[in-house]
Amino acid sequence: MTNVQVRLRAVEKVFPGGVEAVAAMDLDLAPGRVTALLGPTGCGKSTLLRLIGGVETPTAGSIEIDPLPQIGFCFQEPRLLPWRNVRRNVALPLELARASRETCRREADRRLEMVGLGDAAEFLPAALSGGMRMRAAVARAFIADPTLLLLDEPFAALDEVTRLRLDEEVAALVRKRSITVLLVTHSIAEAVFLADEVVVLSPRPARILDRFEIPFGERNAALRGHEEFAALQSRIYNVLLAGMEATS
């Protein structure tokens, strides 16, 4: 799989009405690695992700993505179409890319097996729990074999246990494929658990306060009990806190 490199240079985003979400941002997403953007709520981290995903256009600066990526998106909410069953929801990106019905069905079933929803293919989203809906959304994000995966606080609305389990599942899926991933989160533990690098952002407008290399290899539940895991969280927390105090 070709690794995608993302380069942001002096990127700014000012919304109509004058709200400055991102200020003079230089950022590189290392190919084949997971980068987490961590910052307080409303700091502009989701805007950054949307700029990279092409949903928003920057007011100034440039965003280079090389080579042209196949983007997989996972949002805060599952965003499933309530009238489609789980299989057809997962297959939607392929269907919109005009893949054949047979390909859509086969690939959707494969991804559903991957996230443990093989038995729920025929269910409507309303029949699923919150965690199962997010699993379906993860399966949809992976269906077109993305080379750039953008995760926008994907499990923020879930209970703690489901969230931890999904973090572990996503970590395994991402590492198996070595794709370039950008994760936006306000959970320090989630960022340290999933990412290879954590970029800490200031309150709005988003500026980089610090960057942390995460030295862990394999990610599993046992990692959360390590001293170094706790120490990293504590260091990142202090940077976040200092950033928030500096602007308040």
Two tokens at 85? 């069953």
| Minimum separation from the CB atom of position 136 to other proteins (A) | 13
Which CB, 34 or 150, lies closer to other proteins?
150
Which CB, 95 or 167, lies closer to other proteins?
95
| Minimum separation from the CB atom of position 134 to other proteins (A) | 14
| Minimum separation from the CB atom of position 183 to other proteins (A) | 17
Which CB, 75 or 229, lies closer to other proteins?
75
Any alpha helices (H) in the chain, and if so which ranges?
45-53, 86-90, 92-96, 101-114, 130-142, 160-177, 188-194, 227-247
Which CB, 122 or 228, lies closer to other proteins?
122
| Minimum separation from the CB atom of position 117 to other proteins (A) | 18
Measure the CA angle with vertex 61, ends 57 and 67; round to 5°: 75
Q: Which residues lie near other proteins (CB under 8 A)?
A: 53-55, 71, 73, 75, 77, 79, 81-83, 92-93, 95-97, 124, 126
Two tokens at 73? 């998106």
| Chain-centroid distance, C-alpha 34 | 9
| Minimum separation from the CB atom of position 125 to other proteins (A) | 8
CA-based torsion, 234, 33, 46, 145: positive or negative:
negative
Which CB, 81 or 231, lies closer to other proteins?
81
User: 155, 164, 146: which is closest to 219 by C-alpha?
Assistant: 164
| Minimum separation from the CB atom of position 38 to other proteins (A) | 23
Which CB, 56 or 109, lies closer to other proteins?
56
For 50-91, the DSSP string reads HHHHTSS--SEEEEEEES---EEEE-SS----TTS-HHHHHT
Q: How many residues does the chain have?
A: 248
